[in-house]
Amino acid sequence: MNRPVPANDLSEVVEADRAHLWHHLTQHKPFETMDPRVIVEGKGMRVWDAKGKEFLDAVSGGVWTVNVGYGRESIAKAVYEQLLTMNYFANSAGSIPGSIFAKRLIEKMPGMSRVYYTNSGSEANEKAFKMIRQIAHKRYGGKKHKILYRDRDYHGSTLAAMSAGGQDERNMQYGPFAPGFVRVPHCLEYRRQDGAPVENYGEWAADQIEKVILAEGPDTVGGLCLEPVTAGGGVITPPEGYWDRVQEICRKYEILLHIDEVVCGIGRTGTWFGYQHYGIKPDFVTMAKGVASGYAAIACCVTTEAVFEMFKDDASDPMNYFRDISTFGGCTAGPAAAIENMRIIEDEGLIENTVKMGARTMANLHALMDKHRVIGDVRGKGLFCGAELVADRATKEPMDEKKVQAVVADCAAQGVIIGATNRSLPGMNNTLCLSPALIATSDDIDQITGAIDKALTKVFG
Ligand SMILES: Cc1ncc(COP(=O)(O)O)c(C=O)c1O
């Protein structure tokens, strides 16, 4: 593909970056001797850096966000027109795109009914935590306030979200964390816990949640927050039987189920939402990244009508509503972009494409696993896939992180941007991650896995 706009001299931009920018999740020392990566353009599946190098982006903007691909004029126009008409008013009042997107979104989420707008995944999760806490105070004298979260899951970078963070390396040096968040075991079958059975692992893993609830006291536990497919914790698809049992446990102990769809939401796994693969009925669903594919900042905390009702049952009580505000939850660019993003996904059949291309990605990764002993496990759902690298298949000793990063770097040198779990779990940042835009073609998928094939050969022989 031709570069859409001719290269200009961007040395000033690169120097300003080096001098003044603080990049996310990045050690800056290397930039004393080499240039930081500056991405200047994107079109479809491809991006170009400041030097004019073209990359096929297999991670949708680095963190699984640009679901409909780059350079969408119709989204830009929708945002432009909305900004000229009405850019902002606090969400204590409604807006045209805010109402319309809420309606369209709820049509995709049978059983859910209310949308609370925020500006990031972390913030959306914080809203759900606050609602669970307020329900505990309103209904249970503050006692049923604990929120369970799972080992290896991630829910954001703010301190309460990190208190619900199951990634110890991410959390290191940022404590102490907020009280009232309690960890339950992960459900990664490949790394089955000591004593876990080979048969019915899914049910067993869910039963471990019940054990934690019983140990804490069911009357103290108000919510359970889980990713449908764990993302940065290693692309963990749930084992058979897991979710049915989780749902049963939540019902049994009257625990509100909060599904974090920040990554999986809006088509990523081949359904509108990841939880819809498993027949779950959540009380809260949070989402962010793919909602507007990064064309504007928008995140949502969606609840059932039953949850919503609890915040309006006594209008005479001045404390009896959700006393929360998100300034940028009132930006109209987010829902304006989200409406058009959703239209594109529907009109272009991108969910169906995700199912097809996801199957191709998994087939290609399994073929690589047959060829390269360093791949210990392949996991995925839709266009969200991972390959866990190990030093030894028999012992499952995780591959040295530097070598995992060398694979990522070699793919980039070949012009393909892939990801890997990063500073998430001590000694366990060994899973390559793929999450291309939902517009990916067979050729794109083959180019991505072809680059991984070459990189694995180069790094491991
Ligand atoms: C599952 C999950 N939840 C929440 C978040 C936090 O979202 P944000 O970075 O928009 O705050 C992330 C970010 O990667 C995530 O992967």
- CA 402, 414, 230: angle at the middle one, nearest 5? 55
Enclosing H/E stretch for 213: helix 201-216
Cβ-based neighbour number of residue 35 at 10 Å: 16
Q: Is any ligand 1 atom within 6 A of the Cβ of residue 232?
A: yes
Q: Is 281 in the same domain as 268?
A: yes
Q: Is 222 in the same domain as 143?
A: yes
Residues of the chain with pLDDT under 50: 1-2, 4-6
Alpha helices (H) along 348-433: 350-371, 401-413
CA atoms of 182 and 150, how far apart (whole Å): 8
Q: Which residue's alpha carbon is at the smallest distance from atom 16 of ligand 1? A: 263
Q: Is 23 in the same domain as 161?
A: no
CA atoms of 226 and 280, how far apart (whole Å): 12
Q: Is any ligand 1 atom within 6 A of the Cβ of residue 294?
A: no
Domain of residue 32 covers 11-68+351-460
Classify residue 358: in a domain, yes or no: yes
Q: Is 141 in the same domain as 174?
A: yes
C-beta separation of 68 from 438 below 8 A: yes
Q: Is 391 in the same domain as 270?
A: no
Q: Is 167 in the same domain as 307?
A: yes
Give whole-number Cα distances, 411 to 28, 232, 415, 419, in Å: 21, 19, 6, 10
Q: How does strand 146-150 pair with strand 221-226?
A: parallel
165, two tokens: 């963070």
Alpha helices (H) along 222-377: 242-252, 305-309, 333-347, 350-371
Classify residue 419: in a domain, yes or no: yes
- CA 34, 39, 40: angle at the middle one, nearest 5? 125
Classify residue 433: in a domain, yes or no: yes
Atom of ligand 1 nearest to the CA of 125: 4
Residue-wise pLDDT tens digits, 302-345: 999 999 999 998 999 999 999 999 999 999 999 999 999 999 99
Q: Residue 294 C-alpha to ligand 1 middle, in angstroms?
A: 13
CA atoms of 132 and 113, how far apart (whole Å): 17
Q: How many CA atoms lie within 13 A of 158 on its CB side?
A: 12
Q: Is 336 in the same domain as 357?
A: no
Domain boundary among 347, 364, 392: 347
Domain boundary among 347, 382, 404: 347
455, two tokens: 């990189």
Q: Is 115 in the same domain as 48?
A: no
Classify residue 407: in a domain, yes or no: yes
Classify residue 177: in a domain, yes or no: yes
Classify residue 304: in a domain, yes or no: yes
C-beta separation of 148 from 223 below 8 A: yes
Report CA dihedral (166, 162, 127, 104) to the nearest 10 degrees: -60
- Residue whose structure tokens are 């931009």: 13
Count H helices, E strands: the chain?
A: 13, 16
55, two tokens: 């990359």
Classify residue 153: in a domain, yes or no: yes
> Which one-letter amino acid corresponds to residue 315?
A
Q: Please choose from 149, 154, 421 the residue to mutate so as to test ligand 1's pocket, defined by most ligand atoms within 8 A of CB.
A: 154
Cα torsion 20, 24, 27, 33: sign: negative
Report CA dihedral (56, 58, 60, 64) to the nearest 10 degrees: -170
- CA 93, 128, 241: angle at the middle one, nearest 5? 135
Q: Is any ligand 1 atom within 6 A of the Cβ of residue 421?
A: no
Contacts of 404 (CB under 8 A, 6+ apart): 389, 420, 429, 430, 431, 432
Classify residue 3: in a domain, yes or no: no
Q: Is 20 in the same domain as 110?
A: no
Q: At 44, which CATH number?
A: 3.90.1150.10
Domain boundary among 304, 329, 347: 347
Q: Is any ligand 1 atom within 6 A of the Cβ of residue 206?
A: no
Whether the model pTM is above 0.85:
yes
CA atoms of 274 and 20, how far apart (whole Å): 39
Q: Is 99 in the same domain as 203?
A: yes
CA atoms of 185 and 135, how far apart (whole Å): 25
Q: Please choose from 117, 268, 289, 425 the residue to mutate so as to test ligand 1's pocket, defined by most ligand atoms within 8 A of CB.
A: 289
Q: Is any ligand 1 atom within 6 A of the Cβ of residue 121?
A: yes
- Residue whose structure tokens are 């059949």: 349
Q: Residue 372 C-alpha to ligand 1 middle, in angstroms?
A: 32
Q: Is 30 in the same domain as 165?
A: no
Q: Is 162 in the same domain as 302?
A: yes
Total domains in the fold of the chain: 2
Q: How does strand 54-57 pair with strand 46-49?
A: antiparallel
Q: At 228, which CATH number?
A: 3.40.640.10
Q: How does strand 114-118 pair with strand 299-303?
A: antiparallel
Residue-wise pLDDT tens digits, 260-274: 999 999 999 999 999
Q: What are phi and psi of 413, to 5 degrees?
A: -65, -30
